[in-house]
Chain A
Amino acid sequence: MNNPSLIMIIVSGALINNVVLNQFLGICSFLGVSKQMKASISLGVAVIFVMTIASAVASLLYDYVLVPLGMDFMKTIIFILVIAALVQIVEMFLKKKSPAVYKALGIYLPLITTNCAVLGVALNNVKDSYNFIESVTNGFGTALGYTIAIVLLAGIRSRINEKDLPRPLRGAPVVMIAAALMSIAFMGFSGLPL
């Protein structure tokens, strides 16, 4: 923690440029899974896990394989394959080594492959030319922001469900209005003096 810029990357990834509320990545699962609090927490933990590892692997691959070979235009294809493979490996590893965790994360691991936030972070790391450590930190911070957002929304939704809403607003619309209000609240973080 001797490097203050790493803390800045975490805060900026988690709060200021929140991956869901500000960059609109991973909206599918954000709207879909946030129905239940418990599932949201599981998904959040799974995303933190996968996104941190994926950032590390993608960063190493990009710096030491793709750039030296002059194939950086292949990054989209390579990254998505790496992420898909990684999710499979993590799933197999957890199933073998810690069935309890595997059971808790359950179906959320395969869903992460198509979570655009993971690919988004890998591409953003490259775009902002982060080095290895910074990429891992950014991956962790972004995933933390995702978890914060989805758990907060799950809490709000459990309250919304008890309310008597006008019929057209039920379902998706009211959830998105809640997300809009959360997004306004998160805009306040952009005033943080960093």
Chain B
Amino acid sequence: MKQYIERLWNGLVKENPVLVLMLGMCPALAVTTQAANGIGMGLSTLAVLVLSNLIISYLRKVIPDQVRLPAYIVIVASLVTVTEMLIKAYLPSLYEALGIYIPLIVVNCIILGRAEAYANKHTPMLSVMDGIGMGLGFTVALTLAGAIRELLGAGTVFGLRLLPESFSMTIFIQPPGAFLVFALIIAVMNAIGIRTRQRQLVESGCDGNCALCNTACDSRTTEKAEPAAEQKGGDKA
């Protein structure tokens, strides 16, 4: 039981996908013009993430290691297609608001990242909890950013007016505001001591750049290592 709760806490705070791991930034920046959109995007991603973690975890011994990434992508893409159809049928206004970012959940780094880093090594139950934790962390971050942007940009939160209309700064619901708000949220988290992994990731040169990053980074380090080894050999000779 304890490890299940640990998974939730890990996704929500310790390894919050957006604010700490800096994964899935594209939808986070794009849809947070309103708090409600943030929740919608967060929950859609949560649903896909939980199901993909569950399926991949069940299939982890069936899928051959060499073709695992294509297999994951097909699983995730199918789930996303189903989710897209459901949203289109039952929540048409959300479908309009999120637009192209719903199919783009496929390439959300969080989903392939968790499949690769967690679900293919752990039991289905733990993977589901990991998916819920990560999905909730994503939802909370998006809702928070959406609420801040909506409040500053339009004076409302969830459509509820908190500031008079004359106080609203439209720039915050326009593209620059997204970068600005996320920059400040992360700066505040740095200031109060929640260390982001950003710096060490930047140093490794790949920034958690999606799931394929692992392979890319490996090839990069080997590429780098080879000439170094040659040099060493040369020196010795």
Which residues on A are within 8 Å of B, measured CB to CB? 21-29, 31-33, 35, 73-77, 80-81, 84, 106-107, 110-111, 113-116, 119-120, 123-124, 127, 167-177, 179-181, 183-184, 187
Contact = CB atoms under 8 A, between A and B. Distances in A.
Contacts, number: 161
Classify chain B's interface size.
35 or more
A27 B25 contact: yes
B184 A173 contact: yes
Contacts of A77: 74, 77-78, 81
B100 A127 contact: yes
A137 B91 CA distance: 34
B29 interface: yes
A176 B209 contact: no
Which of A76, A110, A116 has most B Cβ within 10 Å?
A116
Nearest to A76: B103
Contact of B182 (A73, A111, A176): A176
A35 B107 contact: no
B164 interface: no
Given A115-B107, A173-B186, A180-B177, 11 more contacts: A27-B25, A28-B23, A28-B109, A29-B207, A76-B80, A114-B210, A119-B107, A124-B100, A177-B183, A180-B178, A187-B176
Interface in B172-208: 174-180, 182-184, 186-188, 190-191, 196, 198-199, 201-202, 205-208
Interface string B94-106: 0000011001101
Nearest to B19: A172
B163 interface: no
